Every structure is written in C-alpha cells, then in structure tokens.
Amino acid sequence: MDNIFLNSKNVFLDVINNKDYIQLDRVSVIYQSLRDSISKPLKMILFYGKPGTGKSMFLSKLYNDLRQSQEVYLYSTPILDESEFYKTLAQDIFKIKHDAELNFTQFMAIVKHKEEEDSKETPIIILDEAQLYSQNLMEKIRLVSDTRKVKFLITLHKTEKEDIIAKEHFQTRIWETIELQNATSEELKMYIQKKLMQANCFDSVHMFTTKAVNRIHSLTNGNYRDTNKLLYTLFDLYTVYEKENKVSALKTNYISIKMIEMSAIHTGLINV
C-alpha cells in the first residue's frame, strides 16, 4: 500500500515533461488548431490562458513535435535583457555569434542582410511567459516579425494587464489568438485517471470517485497545476498516515473527502 501512495504521489510532481502530456479531447482540438495556425503565413500567434492551465506543458509538447519537421526555438524562460535577446535570436536563427553588445539597429541590419542571402523556411520562436517582457521589447519583437524572417508564438497569462499588452502591440498585426481554459470536472477526472494509468498506478485510478473528483474540481477550479499540487499533497498525506498506522481508520477503497480537504488546507487552497 505504501508503494501505491508513493508512486501515485510522484505522478503529480509539477514537472514539465512532454512525455507527461495528457491527451484530452478539448486540448487535442486546441493543439491541432495551433499547429494549423503555425503553418499559415502569420507574423504572430497569441496563445494565452490562466496560470496553471497547462500552457507550458502544451508548448513543450508542441516544440517537441515541431522540431522534428521544422526550425523551432522555445524560450521557456524570458530573456529580459534586450541585447541578450537579440544575440540569442541572431545565434539561433542566423547562426551568428555576437560577443559584444547587440542593439536593435544592429540586429535589424543582420536580418536585412540575411534576407537577401537565403530564402529558407521561416523559423518559429516560441516565447513562454511573454507577459514578463517589457513593453519596449515587445514593440521591437513586433517590428522583427514584420520582416517575416521569423515567426513568433507568444504565450501569455490571461490577465487584464496582458490583455492591454495584446491590444497595444498586436492589434494591427495579422495574428491569431488561441485560449487554453481550465478543465471541466469530467476532463479533470479523465486527466487524473490518464495520468495515473500512464504511471501504471491502476489501484489509485479506481480510488477517484466522481464525488472525490467533484470536490477536487471545486477546490482547484479545474486548474491543472493546482490539481497536481493537491493530489501530490493528498498522496503524500496518505503516505504519512500509513507510516503512522492511521490509515486503517480511513477507507482506502476510495479517496476520502476529509483527506482531500486536509490536503487543500495544507496547500493553501482552503484558508482556515
């Protein structure tokens, strides 16, 4: 029993790995629409959603799928320094290593020079957490995209602030927006079960009744990150109870609501 809880706990570790990507119906549709958008002659694509809706996992999956067929670069961590950002772009797209400072004018000169040289397929730059980029840099990214030498997939958290950024910088550009939403109760159940089954935790799969999943959904609002966090804590708590020989007081044929709520208290989802 100890192994069951321990293995199940590790399934919900908050690690971005494209192998852990769970294929849900709605997410599959979004994934396909995003792939279609990338194949179109667009300068920019806006992909957004609330924190924890699985954007990073989604981008990881997309990056791994795309890089086998085309030139694609994923910037998971934002490069906030402008010079560093241009140098990284120059190196990845044009294979030019620039040791000294590189400003926007110098970078645009490189772009113009390379434009005349070759006409290879437009590379794709995936910018995760783009809300962290400065307004000035975002404006320059827009100008770079206008050269059509590079295509940007910009991923944002959906907040009021990010909506303003989107309006100011991308309103006049030809671009497509795709939104990733929180899971419904049914989707969440599917997500949990698929995730456990991928890790061969079949005993744990049957412990999640509809009632338990509904309670989890009410606590996490279908947010994948919060769900992972809650379920990790839940199985961790079960492990502790087992060690303290308290688990006999709990019914282990299904997940206890009390244990879910205790986990929620511990993780801060419930504020006592």
Partner 1 sequence: MFNTTELEKQWLQYKIKSYIPYLIISLSLLIIILIVYFFKFDMEKSSTNIQTSIIKSKPNPKKEIVQIKPSPHILVEDNKKVQLLPSLDFMKKMQNASQLHRPTVKSIQRPHISDIRPKEETKHAKRKKIIQDNIEELPQESKKDIDKTINIERKNTQKDIYDIIKRFKKNNNPVLSLFIAKKYYELGNYKQAYNYALITNEINKDIDDSWIIFTKSLVKLGNKDKALDILKQYIEHSHSNSAKILRKEIQSGKFK
Pick the closer one to partner 1 by CB: 130 or 237: 237
Residue 272 interacting with partner 1 (CB under 8 A) = yes
Pick the closer one to partner 1 by CB: 30 or 219: 219
Contact 214, 185 (CB under 8 A): yes
Task: Give the count of residues interacting with partner 1 (CB under 8 A).
Answer: 13
Min separation Cβ 214 and partner 1, Å: 16
Give, as ranges, the residues between 229 and 268 that touch partner 1 (CB under 8 A): 236-237, 240-241, 244, 246, 258, 261-262, 265-266
Min separation Cβ 238 and partner 1, Å: 10
- Torsions phi, psi of 192, nearest 5? -65, -45
Min separation Cβ 6 and partner 1, Å: 14
Percent composition of the chain: helix, strand, coil (DSSP 3-state, to 5): 55, 10, 35
Give, as ranges, the residues between 41 and 80 that touch partner 1 (CB under 8 A): none
- Amino acid identity at 244: E
Pick the closer one to partner 1 by CB: 1 or 143: 1
Q: Is the dihedral of CA 133, 139, 140, 145 positive or negative?
A: positive
Site string for partner 1, 191-230 (x = CB under 8 A): ----------------------------------------
Pick the closer one to partner 1 by CB: 89 or 234: 234
Tokens of 9: 């706990």
Contact 83, 135 (CB under 8 A): no
Min separation Cβ 265 and partner 1, Å: 5
Name 178's bridge partners.
47
Pick the closer one to partner 1 by CB: 63 or 238: 238
Min separation Cβ 263 and partner 1, Å: 9
Contact 266, 237 (CB under 8 A): yes
Min separation Cβ 5 and partner 1, Å: 13
Min separation Cβ 221 and partner 1, Å: 18
Pick the closer one to partner 1 by CB: 100 or 272: 272
Tokens of 28: 């599959």
Pick the closer one to partner 1 by CB: 8 or 155: 8
Read out DSSP for 192-234? HHHHHHHTT-HHHHTT--HHHHHHHHHHHTT-HHHHHHHHHHH
Of 107, 152, 105, the closest CA to residue 130 belongs to: 152
Min separation Cβ 233 and partner 1, Å: 9
Of 194, 230, 237, the closest CA to residue 212 belongs to: 230
Tokens of 88: 């990284």
Residue 237 region, left (φ>0) first, then alpha (ψ -120 to 50), else beta?
A: alpha
Pick the closer one to partner 1 by CB: 128 or 242: 242
Task: Please give the residue ranges that form the binding site for partner 1 (CB under 8 A).
Answer: 236-237, 240-241, 244, 246, 258, 261-262, 265-266, 270, 272
